Amino acid sequence: MGETVYNLAFDFGASSGRMVLCKLEDGKLELEELHRFPNPEVRIGGHIYWDLFRLYYEMKQGLKKAAAKKVPIQSLAVDTWGVDYGLFDKDGNLIGTPVNYRDSRTDGVIDEIAEVIPLEELYNRTGIEFMYFNTIFQLWAEKKMRPVILDNAKRLLFMPELFGYFLTGIMYTEYTFASTSQLLDARKREWDYELIERLGLNKEMFGDIVMPGTIIGDLLPEVEEETGLHGVKVIAVGSHDTASAVAGAPLESDDAAFLSCGTWSLLGMVLDEPILNEASYKYNYTNEGSIDGKIQFLKNINGLWIMQNLRRNWCEFEKEVSFPDIIREARAAKRKDFTIKVKDPRFTAPLNMMKEIVAYCQETGQGTPEGLGEMAMAIYNGLTDEYRKSIQYMEEITGKTVSCINMVGGGIQDELLCELTAKATGKRVMAGPTEGSVLGNSIVQLVAMGAVESVQAGREIIRNSFDVKVYEP
């Protein structure tokens, strides 16, 4: 009988955040969500920001609830969505509110950077797919939007490390998150300082990189006093939520694919080394950092963000509906053949998702979706078609045949999505566990604290602790 170990996993998504108490006892993990809170975008002056200090307030509320449990919590860690950051001056003060990656300030920036460094060269150095919101493009946009802030910035901290700094007073940069910036040398797993200087950025802003599983330090005395939580280590895990989700996915074999399904859909495979060739460049695949120094070779696909916004708009303009209501309407829809192109920019941050779906279907000659169910089917078909193409291209690039798809994340609660994914891809789908990011976050903490031998051993614990549902094609 081993020691019972507790840790806290903060998991921030682009629409909500939560803090989960994780308990390892007798070789099994148990989760208890202690605190959940919204993470809405804030629009000011034509730009979109994150409500950073509100999020930090919510973190501390979570820590107070954890202290009230009166159990010996050893550590905590934070994972968040990728690419976004805060800038700090020479005195360690945050200057400027972090901008939301969906902001339009990066419109046209990819073409501008292509004038400085050819895109094929940029891909060959960094291995990251071209998405308008990557950190590299946001920093280029800062030159126009907030040049005074950028000129005075002495340190850049990504979102998880920003919260870590508030908690510990220690600045650090974690590998998996840094890899989403498109400023990292994919092969060496370190900053590409030559690239940074060619872009006219201050290389001093980019601090030393630590790997997942690094113990950062203790909570500041002021945080301990305010929250009542003492003796807790802060750990850098796979602080990009995709890296944590992949760590928490009980992959069966080296040729299994993962599909982290939430606000975004991340579909890929875990590889030992990056793939940087004509095919991966052509199909715009990304080589993000993973746990144990490995590579997540994947495709970013606009995910359930579209469905979330359809629901929100339907509640605003029609009547209150839940996600189970939407699934029932979709199953009952008269026409199930409507489809949208989920990567079309019109679905990135529209004011009214319903109007955009209807307009797209009309403009592409499909007719007019009638009611909630047909609109939802257009989203389901758009998503699963992207999954199908992404699997096909990935098999072509890697030379591997995908044996099955391990779906993790909140999206697996949607059984219709799981069914349609298996049907569209022709692959067996293993759905579970739901809390992929939280579990990966917790497992890396347990390894760092010496309670679990390795991430692989942690995946075995996850397999023994949670059910997985199988969907056949």
The residues that are catalytic are: 241
> 205: closest CA among 224, 241, 227, 178?
178
CA dihedral of residues 416, 418, 423, 429 (deg, nearest 10): -160
Give dist(CA 241, CA 272) in Å, integer.
20
Give dist(CA 468, CA 408) in Å, integer.
10
Query: Which structure tokens are listed for 238?
Result: 């796979």
Task: Answer positive or negative: Cα dihedral of 96, 102, 103, 106.
Answer: positive
Query: Which structure tokens are listed for 99?
Result: 């901008």
Q: Is 238 helix (H, G, I), strand (E, B) or coil?
A: coil
> 441: closest CA among 225, 217, 247?
247
Secondary element (H or E) of residue 25? strand 16-25
Query: Which structure tokens are listed for 344?
Result: 């079309």
- Cβ atoms of residues 390 and 265 within 8 Å: no
- Cβ atoms of residues 376 and 420 within 8 Å: no
Instruction: List residues bridging with 207 in a β-sheet.
Output: none
Give dist(CA 365, CA 360) in Å, integer.
9
Query: Which structure tokens are listed for 201?
Result: 């950025």
Give dist(CA 320, CA 424) in Å, integer.
30
Q: What is the DSSP string of 329-385?
A: HHHH-S-------TTSGGGTS-S-HHHHHHHHHHHTTS----HHHHHHHHHHHHHHH
> 158: closest CA among 134, 132, 140, 142?
134
β-pairing verdict for 209-210 and 173-174: parallel
First-to-final CA distance of the chain:
41
> 261: closest CA among 380, 399, 396?
380
Q: Is 113 helix (H, G, I), strand (E, B) or coil?
A: helix
Instruction: Give the helix ranges, DSSP H, for 210-258.
Output: 221-227, 241-247
Query: Which structure tokens are listed for 127?
Result: 């291995």
Query: E-strand spans in 245-337?
Result: 257-261, 264-271, 286-289, 295-302
